[in-house]
Amino acid sequence: MPDKKGYFGIYGGRFVPETLMPALQELEAAFLDSKKDKDFRRELVHLQKTYIGRPTPLYYAKRLTEHLSGARIYLKREDLAHTGAHKINNAVGQVLLARKMGKKRVIAETGAGQHGVATATGAALVGLGCEIYMGSVDMQRQALNVFRMRLLGAKVTEVPTGSQTLKDAINEALRDWTTNVRTTHYILGTVYGPHPFPEMVREFQSVIGKESKKQMFSAEGKLPDYLIACVGGGSNAMGLFSEFLKDISIQMVGVEAGGKGIETGEHAARFAGGSFGVFQGCKTYLLQDDDGNVLGTHSVSAGLDYAAIGPEHPFLRDEGRVRYTYATDGEALAAFELLSHTEGIIPALESAHAVAEAIKIAPQLSKEKIILVNLSGRGDKDVQQVAQIKGIGL
């Protein structure tokens, strides 16, 4: 848990313009209150079950395990949640909070489009106005999700500034929030930004870890040996890891986007290439130049294409609790295909980064060992892009 000011060790805090400070205090109070509010909890649990489709299954990936002939691999099937990714867990929690605070409108940033779709879905569910900010580059590579958001009644606003990806969408969402803060709640999509977002989003995603623990006990009668999750901002990873932090026998691995390779500079591996700084509301690790300007990033996966990482992650790295590594575009694409062939599951390119790490370590481990991979989303949204990369016209 962070301290009162939202710090995980030296990371976190609340670095925003004054205009937003009262809104963050209001949000923090509403969030703390919602934890004790029985009606709120009841409604959230009810929606998790009847609307999101929770609990999502924990699936033993038998043919992938046999193919790699090493540790036994389980997949936590967040791809089977409503809208196709874990993002909905947070979006539903936050739209309920927005309604509780009396806000009439929600806004969000999106990279891959999954959080935008989840927010648009949540807004439709409770009847709130919705506007989604998305970089021009991301709108092109995730055109399908843009159309989905519009179908769901959201306004999608293109962000043509800067690198035209996720970070620029966040800047624009923050500017909107600064202007419309009295009527609008900003549904940040990951464990990032000013306090209380990192803690709050983790809380709404912690259902992943809680379910996984129970399901693992009924499947194997014991805890897993490894947890693997991809890390963009890091919400699916924190959702899984948070429940297991005290189980010190478990090794946890966060997988960042290695892009075209660290040496090329075209990647989003904040630990491999970044340094300490403050960005978009919190102190954390980010990719920046010598003068403190934020660098452009590259990943085949729009959802991991972000210059900074949620503040709890560098804390867990410093503590030695989580190991962080990366998978390159090529490794993620290979994992994308392998999981499709061996299991009939097309993973999101983001999640394929986690699968790529499992592919690396499983063969080195005995068959007694268990790896749990968080399959954070499904890959339908990525099919067109992968075809394009392979030079196949659709």
Partner 1 sequence: MRSRIEKTFKKLQKHGKKAFIPYIMAGDPSLDATKEIVFLFEECRADIVELGVPFSDPLADGPTIQQAAERALQNGVTLRKVIALVEDLRKATQIPLILMTYFNPVMKYGVENFVRDAAHAGVDGVIIPDLPPDEAADFLNLTNPASLNVIFLLAPTSTDERIKKVARASRGFIYYVSITGITGGTLLLNSSFHTSISRIKHFTNKPVAVGFGVSAPEEAAEVAQLADGVIVGSAIIKKYRESPDRVKDYLTSLRQAIQ
| Chain contacts with partner 1 (rule: CB under 8 A) | 5, 13-23, 161-162, 167-168, 171, 174-175, 178-182, 276-281, 288, 290-294
Is 319 part of the annotated catalytic residue set? no
Identify which of residues 161 and 264 has a Cβ nearer to partner 1 in the complex: 161
CB of 25 vs partner 1, minimal distance in Å: 8
CA neighbours within 13 Å on the CB side: how many for 273? 25
Cis peptide before 224 (omega within 30 of 0): no
Quote the CA–CA distance of 92 and 122 in Å, as a whole number.
5
Is 376 part of the annotated catalytic residue set? yes
Identify which of residues 178 and 206 has a Cβ nearer to partner 1 in the complex: 178
Strand order in the sheet with 281-286: 7-8, 11-15, 281-286, 275-279
Quote the CA–CA distance of 211 and 62 in Å, as a whole number.
21
The angle, 0 to 180 degrees and rounded to 10, between the axes of the packed helices 207-220 and 197-205 is: 30
Identify which of residues 98 and 308 has a Cβ nearer to partner 1 in the complex: 308
CB of 284 vs partner 1, minimal distance in Å: 11
CB of 97 vs partner 1, minimal distance in Å: 19
Identify which of residues 171 and 236 has a Cβ nearer to partner 1 in the complex: 171
Cis peptide before 196 (omega within 30 of 0): yes
Identify which of residues 48 and 171 has a Cβ nearer to partner 1 in the complex: 171
CB of 134 vs partner 1, minimal distance in Å: 16
Of these residues, 28, 109, 199, 357, which one is catalytic? 109
CA neighbours within 13 Å on the CB side: how many for 258? 20
CB of 233 vs partner 1, minimal distance in Å: 15
The two tokens of residue 88 are 């909905």
CB of 101 vs partner 1, minimal distance in Å: 14
Identify which of residues 16 and 228 has a Cβ nearer to partner 1 in the complex: 16
Identify which of residues 174 and 252 has a Cβ nearer to partner 1 in the complex: 174
Is 43 part of the annotated catalytic residue set? no
Quote the CA–CA distance of 140 and 336 in Å, as a whole number.
21
Give the residue ranges of DSSP H helices in 283-390: 312-318, 329-343, 349-361, 383-389
Quote the CA–CA distance of 77 and 59 in Å, as a whole number.
7
Of these residues, 87, 103, 283, 381, which one is catalytic? 87
- Residue among 158, 156, 92, 148 at smallest CA distance from 130: 156
Quote the CA–CA distance of 80 and 77 in Å, as a whole number.
6
What are φ and ψ of residue 381, in 5° steps? -65, -20
Quote the CA–CA distance of 391 and 339 in Å, as a whole number.
21
CB of 20 vs partner 1, minimal distance in Å: 8
What are φ and ψ of residue 266, in 5° steps? -100, 85
Quote the CA–CA distance of 202 and 200 in Å, as a whole number.
5
The two tokens of residue 221 are 């009668």
CA distances from 285 to 204, 270, 274 (A): 23, 6, 6
By annotation, the residues acting in catalysis are 87, 109, 376
